Structure 1
Amino acid sequence: MGQVKLDKLLWQTVCSEMEAIKVLQQNKLHSHALSSMYSAIDKMAWLCTLGNKSGGNEFKKWVDSYFMAGEALEYTSKDLWAARCGLLHTGAAESDLYRDDKANLIYYTTKPNQAREEIIEIIGGYLRDEKIPESKVVLVDYFALIIRFLESLQRFTEALKNDSQLHSLAAEKAGKQLGFTVRE
């Protein structure tokens, strides 16, 4: 069983997600880049899911397989799902999963090596007002998260190339995604 060539629409889907995040990041639209990243994970998870179901379980499965790739990090796929829900639905870190004590809050840092205490001090008033324990706060390096996502796309495309069944499913679904033809 050799590698298959990646379907054109499938490759365009992956490339357009990477390009959108790159443009947003270069323009310092960090929350929009994160929103696009979470949305892209949703799309990638749907591409490799039988049927048309798309939701938290599919998102977490994709994150565990390609984003986490067996590595233990300071956050879990459930924490990322909760962060995704908070950001996409309200623009905040909090989500129902956090409020139900099923996930941690993710806050993003943009300064490498910034001390946790310094960051907690910045958001400390909010944490105290909302009675959020520091133990429920995970600080994630924004840039490292974006890089990890890009690496996860590489792992995903390699899996697609090496698994003809997965590739066929994803290629068929990529053909269902919206595309635009620009008039000149």
Structure 2
Amino acid sequence: MQESKQQIEQFVKNTVTAIGLLFKSELYGQTKILMYSAIDTMGLLDAPAGQEKASGETFKAWVRKYILANTKLPFSDVDLWAARCAVLHTFTTASDLSNGGKAKEIIFFVGQADSPMMKAFHAATLDVGKDTHVPAVFSDFLDAFLEGIERFMGDLIANCEKDSAYSRRLGKIIQTHMV
């Protein structure tokens, strides 16, 4: 079990470091790609022990449990799934779900939430979008993600201690090969 705990801690540390480097370099699109990929992975790691593939449902379940449960972010798990699909497939904000009216497009802004410019962007997004777009502060999403991954790490360690199937799946996902 100690090996699984170290693998989990190292994986989370590496993920957080990579996301931080991208964010600090103002590579926001790439930051989102890595965050969405990490949520996909965490969703699979949190899925029932026998599940072998990530899905929209595992992504959304992880988002509900670890990101949205303790925040006031303005979007839903479905909106975030649609944003993930949009960015990973076309590097835009539009997805099949948003185009079909089943999700709102998340428009992330970078800056101080209470600045006049940010308030103007927020209002314009709501006005122009007519309930099809939702403005969000990117750093709020990043903070919620980081808090969620920290809480998840303890839950994953506990799952690995209770059921070796979690540890086996973790080993497949992390694929740490030490030489």
When normalised by structure 1's length, the TM-score is 0.81
Tell me, in whole angstroms, the C-alpha distance in 2 between the residues paired with 1:172 and 1:181.
15
Q: For structure 2, which runs of at least 5 residues remain unmatched after alignment?
A: none
**Percent of paired sites with the same residue:** 28
Tell me, in whole angstroms, the C-alpha distance in 2 between the residues paired with 1:71 and 1:26.
23
Tell me, in whole angstroms, the C-alpha distance in 2 between the residues paired with 1:53 and 1:182.
25
- C-alpha change, 1:36 and 1:58, in structure 2 (3 Å) is same
In the alignment, which residue of structure 1 is the partner of 2:19? 21
In the alignment, which residue of structure 2 is the partner of 1:138? 134
- C-alpha change, 1:94 and 1:48, in structure 2 (3 Å) is same
- C-alpha change, 1:117 and 1:15, in structure 2 (3 Å) is same
* Greater RCO, CA 8 A, separation 6+: 1
- C-alpha change, 1:23 and 1:71, in structure 2 (3 Å) is closer
Counterpart residue type for residue 16 of structure 2: M
Tell me, in whole angstroms, the C-alpha distance in 2 between the residues paired with 1:20 and 1:95.
26
Counterpart residue type for residue 134 of structure 1: K
Give the 5 Å matches for 1:12-91: 12-49=10-47, 50-69=50-69, 71=71, 73-91=73-91
Counterpart residue type for residue 68 of structure 2: M
Q: 2:120 aligns with which of 117, 120, 123?
A: 117
Q: For structure 1, which runs of at least 5 residues remain unmatched after alignment?
A: 128-132
Give the 5 Å matches for 1:96-175: 96-112=96-112, 113=114, 114-119=117-122, 121=124, 133-163=129-159, 164-165=161-162, 168-175=164-171
Give the drift of 1:180.
6.4
- List per-residue Cα deviations over 1:121-158 (Å, max 9, x = no partner): 5898xx6xxxxx33211111111111110000111012
What root-mean-square deviation, in Å, do the aligned CA atoms of Structure 1 and Structure 2 show?
A: 2.7
Give the drift of 1:47.
1.3
Q: 1:9 aligns with which of 7, 14, 23?
A: 7
Aligned length: 172
